Chain A
Amino acid sequence: MSRDDSLRGRLIGAVLGAVALVWIGVSLAGWLRSRHELDELFDAHLAQSAALLVAQISGDGADDDDHDDELDLEHAPVLHRYARSVAFQVWERGRTLRLHSKNAPRTRLSAKETGFSHVRIDGVRWRVFSTWALERRVLVQMAERVGAREAVSAQIARHLLLPLVIGLPLLGAGLLLAIGRALAPLRALADAVAARDPRRLEPVAVDRVPREARPLVDRLNDLFARIAASLERERAFTADAAHELRTPLAAIRAQAQVALASRSDAERAHALDQVISGCDRAARLSEQLLTLARLEAEEFREGLAPCELGSVAREALAELAPAAHSRGLSLELRAEQPVTVQGDAPLLQVLLRNLVDNALRYGAGGGVVQVEVGVGESHAWLRVVDRGPGIPAEERARVLDRFYRGLGNDEGGAGLGLAIAARIAALHGAALELDAGPDGSGLAVTLRWPAPALRSRR
C-alpha cells in the first residue's frame, strides 16, 4: 500500500494539518491582539515618562532658566534591559536643546511637536512622543526604539508557537499509535480474506468486524456466496456432462467390439449401425451441452427486442416439419392473432425446437403436435401440446432437471431439451409450466409471459 493510499497516513495528515492550522490561526489572532495591547502599553509608558520629565523640569527648571545642565543617563544604573533603548530631549521654546539623554542625538528627534510619531535616526527606528510643557516654553520629546517592542512581540510569538512545534510531533505519534490499533481489525479482515481458498469460499465471520467495515464484509460475503454457487453449478455441470458422455461412448465402444468379434454379416452390420447412431447421439448431446453451457453463462437481459411469437413458431416448425413427417406425425400452428413479447428471437426458436423435438420423440403415436400462440388479459403464452403418453404429475418437476430422462427412452434424447427450454424461459423472465394436454392425455408445455413483457397486441 503506498503512503498516498494509506488510510492512516491520510488521517494523521488531516488531523495534524487541521490542528496546526487552528493553532496557528488562534496564535496569530492572540499575537495581533497582544501586539496592539503592547503598543498601547508602551505608548502609555512613553507618554507617562514624558509627563514625569515635564514634572521634573517644572520642579527645578522654573526658577533656573539658564541652567544649562545635561542629564547624563549613561551613568544612571541600568534598571531594566529595555532602559537603554529609551531617549529624550528637552527643547527650550522648541529651538534650544536644554536637556537630553546620552543616547539622544543633538538634533530634534521628531519634527512633530505633539503626539506620537515614527522616525528613523542612523538606521534605527524610534517611536517618539512629543509634548509642549510649561505654557509652550519647553518641548519634551520622549523616544523609544521600535526594536524594543518588536523584540517583546517576537518573544510573545515564540511563546505562542513553541508548544505547537513540540506538540504536533507528539500528537502525530499518538495518532499513529491510536489509528494503528483502531485499524487492526481491518488488517485481520484482510488476512481472513486472503486466507480464503478460491475453490472453497466460506463467508468471513462478521462478529469481530468493526461496524464501519460491516457493509464491506456483508457485500464480500454475498459475493463469495454467489461465486461459490456459480462454481458449484459449473462443477456439477461439468461432472454431469462428462458422465452423460460416458454412456454413449461406452455404447459406441461396445458396439464396435461386437462388430469386430462378430462372425455373422447381419450381426456386424447391425453393430456398425448402432455405432453410427451412438456417434449421432454423442454429437447431439455435446451440441445440447454447449447450448446449455452458453445459456448458463447468460444473465437475464433487460434490453430484449420485441418479437412476434407467431413468426418465431412458423420458422421453427418449418425446420422441424421433415422430422415430424418421418415419424408419421403432423405439426399444427394455432396463431389467431399476432402476439409480440420482449424476447430474443433466436433463443426462442431454440426453445421451441427443443419443445417440439421432445413432442415428436416422446409424443409418438399421437398423430399431431400442436403449437399455440395466444394472449390473454394478464399474460401471453406459447404452448406445445402432444397427444403422447404424457408425464405423470409427480415426475413433471424432475423432467426440468438436466439429464433427467423418463422411462422408455428409446429416442436417444439427452434429457437436456426441457432443461434448455427452462433456462431460456428464465432468461426471458417467463414461466415454463408442464400440464396434461387439454383432454387430459399427452403433455402440454406452456411458456407464459407476465403482463409487463407485453408490448403491442391487436
Chain B
Amino acid sequence: MRVLVVEDDRLLGDALRIGLSQAGFTADWVRDGDAGLEALAGDPFAAVVLDLGLPKLSGLELLKRLRAAGNAVPVLILTARDAVPDRIAGLDAGADDYLVKPVDLRELAARLRALVRRSAGRAAPLLCVGPLEIDPSAHSVRFRGRPVDLPVREFALLHELARSAGRVLAKDQLAERVYGWGEQVESNAIEVHVHHLRRKLAPEVIATVRGVGYLLPKDLR
C-alpha cells in the first residue's frame, strides 16, 4: 500500500517515511502543502498522513481542496495541535483520523491499515478472496489454509491485486502502487513478481489479460 506523508519537519518526515516502509507500506514524503496536493493529484495513494502547520499551503487548506476536488483518499492528520477545536476543525474538513504528536509508529501504521480497510468497505481486518487470506497488519498470507512466506514487494503486489479483486490492473498502475518515488523499477519487475507469486500460490491466482494487465479473479477457488 502506498501512503503519502506530508510533513515539513525534516527529522520527523524522514522517520515516518522509513518507519512506514518498515511496517510494509510504500511511503512517499513531501514537505509542503503545494507538493502534497500535486502528489495526490498525480499518483494513487491508499492513505495520507497530513501535518497541519505546513509551508505554502496549510494542511487544513490542502484537505479542503482535496475533498472539493472529489478525492476520497483516507487522510490521517498528525499534528502538534491537540486542542479540541483543532481536532473538530480537522475532522470536519474531511480528515478520517486525528493523531497528536508524538505518536507511536506502530499505532500510526495500524490506524492507516484500518483507514484503508474501511475505505474499501471492509470491516474485517483480514482481506479474503476465496481461499486466499491476507493479513495486512501481520504481513502474512494463507492460501488454502497453508501459510505462504512472501517478500515485501510480492506481498505488496498481491495485496494490491486482492484489494481490487475482479478488476484488471495495468502494469503501470501496479508499479505506481507498489513502488515509491525514486525507487529503481526494472521494466519487467512486475512480470517477475507475478511469476513468483503464481509459483508460490497457484497459477490461477493471477490471470493475465493480454495487452491490458493482471487480474485476481473474484471467484477464486
> A residues near B, CB below 8 A?
243-244, 246-255, 257-258, 261-262, 267, 270-271, 274, 277-278, 281, 405-410, 412
Contacts and interface: CB of A to CB of B under 8 A. Distances in A.
A404 to B, nearest CB: 10
B22 A262 contact: yes
29 contacts: A243-B80, A247-B12, A247-B101, A248-B9, A250-B102, A251-B9, A251-B11, A251-B14, A252-B11, A254-B12, A254-B19, A254-B105, A255-B14, A255-B15, A258-B19, A271-B15, A274-B11, A281-B11, A405-B8, A405-B55, A406-B55, A407-B8, A407-B32, A407-B55, A407-B56, A409-B8, A409-B10, A409-B55, A412-B11
Contacts of B10: 409-410, 412
Contacts of A258: 15, 18-19, 22, 105
Contacts of B105: 254, 257-258, 261
A261 B18 CA distance: 10
A38 B180 CA distance: 127
A271 B12 CA distance: 11
Nearest to B105: A257
A170 to B, nearest CB: 65
Contacts of A281: 11
Nearest to A255: B15
B45 to A, nearest CB: 20
Interface string B34-46: 0000000000000
B32 to A, nearest CB: 6
Contacts of A261: 19, 22, 105
B16 interface: yes
Given A247-B101, A250-B103, A253-B103, 16 more contacts: A243-B80, A247-B80, A251-B9, A251-B12, A254-B12, A254-B105, A258-B18, A261-B22, A262-B22, A274-B14, A278-B11, A406-B55, A409-B10, A409-B55, A410-B10, A412-B11
Given A246-B101, A254-B102, A406-B55, A274 B81 contact: no
Contacts of A267: 18
A405 B103 CA distance: 23
B55 A254 contact: no
Contacts of B103: 250, 253-254
Interface in B62-108: 80-81, 100-106
B55 A244 contact: no
Contact of B106 (A243, A246, A257, A262): A257
Contact of B102 (A249, A408, A409): A249
A252 B15 CA distance: 8
B103 to A, nearest CB: 6
Contact of A277 (B11, B101, B106): B11
Name which of B11, B16, B22, B32 has the most chain A CB atoms within 10 A of its CB. Answer: B11
A210 B32 CA distance: 59
Contacts of A249: 101-102
A246 B15 CA distance: 15
A258 B14 CA distance: 10
B55 A257 contact: no
B22 A247 contact: no
Contacts of A262: 18, 22
Name which of A255, A267, A271, A281 has the most chain B CB atoms within 10 A of its CB. Answer: A255
A347 B119 CA distance: 56
B158 to A, nearest CB: 21
B14 to A, nearest CB: 6
A412 B9 CA distance: 8
B18 A251 contact: no
The 6 A-B residue pairs with the shortest CB-CB distance in the complex, in nearest-first order: A254-B15, A250-B101, A250-B102, A251-B11, A251-B12, A246-B80
B8 A271 contact: no
Contact of A255 (B8, B11, B106): B11
B102 A244 contact: no
Name which of A248, A250, A261, A271 has the most chain B CB atoms within 10 A of its CB. Answer: A250
Name which of B8, B19, B56 has the most chain A CB atoms within 10 A of its CB. Answer: B19
Contacts of B14: 251, 255, 274
B33 to A, nearest CB: 10
Contact of B81 (A243, A252, A257, A407): A243
